Amino acid sequence: MLSRIIMFIKELNKKSKPDLFTSNWLKISLRNRWSHLILILMLTFPSSASFSQAEKIKIAIGDDLAPWIFGNGQSGILIDLVRDCLKPANSTLEFIAYPYGRRLMAYKKMDVDAVIDINTKTISSEQLVGFFTGNLYAYENFAFSLSENNFSVINITDLEKYSLLSWQGAINHLDGEYADMARGNPNYAETSRQSNQVSMLFRKRVDFIQLDYQIYNYYKTKLIEANEIDSKLDVTSFALFGKSPNGLMFRDKELRDICRNELEKIEMKIKYKEISP
């Protein structure tokens, strides 16, 4: 934009160049006019860098969500996705880790500019205000139990008669039939630590756990390597929930649009195909 302004001024100078008889004061007056015009045009047509590109973007994330999030936002599947989608903004991204349920409070209190793991149910139940990206990725949740128990579970409501440890915020996030089951189950509980879920299952403290398959496999492997659980125990998984699609909520519409548009590119669709909603 600035180069266009300069070309425009040069063209005006060619058309309005004073002759040899022009007085000095008139020459100065003309130069002042061009300076004022440049200033006005630059204020009216700012350079391509938007205000959002000059600022740090703070993003609320849940902690302890490997392999989706490692090291409080240093790396992970979800961290890579957010970095990719906001790359055109040319901004510094600051990922702030909270216990999973508290990430929403941080957004409501305006401590952050965006928050992960949002869907329409959460927006409604938590009365969130902002600009939703729509569903960009999806977890795939299962109910897991030790095979030796030989539990028979066909649908979500069947879980009501068993002890179940889920992840923090599951009731509001999944809502519907799941929320009804959880509220009617006196032995239902939630935790912000997914590693605790896997540990509690293998130590036979609960009948079922409910979490994403990738998260389950990650912590199971880590706990076996640390000799904290018995690797010989078989586990049965129940595909009762299907995919759980999610996206991000932004305060700024421009940032929301940048993120959404970037992930619409073919190379991004290929890169994140395995977690597509």
CB 167 within 8 A of CB 66: no
Digit-coded pLDDT (tens) for 159-194: 999 999 999 989 988 889 999 999 999 999 999 889
Residue the block writes with tokens 């999973």: 100
**How is residue 29 written in tokens?**
């007056």
Query: Counting every residue, how long is the chain?
Result: 277
pTM: 0.72
HSE on the CB side for 61, CA within 13 Å? 27
- Distances in whole angstroms, Cα of residue 121 to Cα of each of 145, 235, 245, 271: 27, 30, 11, 27
| DSSP letter, residue 255 | H
Assign 210 a pLDDT band (cuts: 50, 70, 90). very high
pLDDT at 34 over 50: no
Give 100-117 pLDDT, tens digit per residue: 889 999 999 999 999 999
Distance CA 7, CA 219 (A): 61
Residue 50 has pLDDT above 50, yes or no: no
DSSP H or E run through 159: none
For position 33, what pLDDT does the model report?
A: 52
Signed CA dihedral, 246, 252, 272, 263: sign only: positive
CA 271 to chain centre: 16
